[in-house]
């Protein structure tokens, strides 16, 4: 990664992180309600019976209620668990499943761990992001877990990143390893950006 790209990413992440920390509890709750509704409609539109998602951290757009509702509706939900080698293991979400802090202090599920290839069986991937641009390029938080996962999938299903409305931007800094997404889910809308993203 060039220094210019790295610096641009760092600056944008810092700005986005500051905005997220500045949100009120009421705004977070309203966003979580919108995300739940948008994700429920997305799963229905794709007829997905098995998906990946993640347990949102306090400053992220809320996914936890959606995960609980999807599991209750009979959808198999795989949740990521970080590994020291930069790959993701997966745990099948269960009602009231235990949660612990992962490698980076973020919430992760506790349960029987499945290998990184388990995610290859899902119908739809729902992943976190710092921002996504109009061409479908995703800016993550800099650890590369989801770029590695997406880059290693032969038959990638649709991939949607979850962001706040203001985080769908014109352009994000990109490098060769960065992976595009099919679209974004925000509290107010779902937008298809790069349907042929591979």
pLDDT value at residue 103: 85
193 is in an annotated binding site: no
pLDDT in tens, 63-74: 999 999 999 999
Q: Residue 198, Cβ neighbours under 10 Å: how many?
A: 13
98 among annotated binding-site residues: no
Residue 167: left if φ>0, alpha if ψ -120 to 50, beta else—which one? alpha
Q: Identify the pLDDT of residue 198.
A: 46
Contacts with 115 (C-beta within 8 Å, 6 or more apart), sequence order:
89, 90
Q: Which two tokens stand for residue 80?
A: 């990521």
Is 9 annotated as belonging to a binding site?
Answer: yes
148 has binding-site annotation: no
Ranges of the chain with pLDDT below 50: 197-198
Q: Mind listing the pLDDT tens digit for each residue in 118-147?
A: 999 999 999 999 999 999 999 988 788 999
> pTM for the whole thing?
0.92
Is 36 annotated to bind a ligand? Reply is no
Determine the CATH number of domain 3-192: 3.40.50.10420
Instruction: Give the containing element (helix H, strand E) for 107.
Output: strand 107-109
The two tokens of residue 173 are: 């800094």
How far apart CA 144 and CA 129 sit, in angstroms, is 11
Question: Phi, psi at residue 28, to the nearest 5°?
Answer: -65, -40
The encoded tokens of residue 124 equal 């739809």
């Amino acid at each position: 990664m060039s220094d210019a790209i790295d610096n641009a990413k760092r600056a944008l992440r810092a700005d986005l992180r500051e905005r997220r920390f500045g949100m009120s509890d009421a705004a977070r709750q309203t966003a979580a309600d919108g995300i739940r509704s948008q994700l429920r409609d997305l799963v229905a539109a794709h007829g997905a019976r098995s998906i990946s998602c993640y347990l949102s951290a306090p400053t992220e757009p809320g996914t936890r209620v959606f995960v609980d509702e999807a599991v209750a509706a009979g959808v198999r939900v795989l949740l990521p668990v970080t590994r020291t080698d930069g790959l993701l293991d997966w745990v099948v979400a269960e009602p009231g499943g235990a949660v612990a802090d992962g490698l980076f202090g973020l919430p992760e599920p506790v349960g029987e761990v499945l290998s990184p290839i388990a995610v290859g069986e899902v119908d739809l991937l729902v992943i976190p992001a710092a921002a996504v641009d109009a061409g479908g390029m995703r800016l993550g938080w800099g650890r590369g877990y989801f770029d590695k996962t997406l880059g290693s999938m032969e038959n990638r299903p649709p991939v949607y990143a979850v962001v706040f409305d203001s985080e769908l931007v014109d352009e994000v800094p990109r490098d060769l390893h960065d992976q595009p997404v099919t679209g974004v889910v925000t509290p107010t809308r779902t937008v298809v950006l790069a349907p042929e993203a591979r």
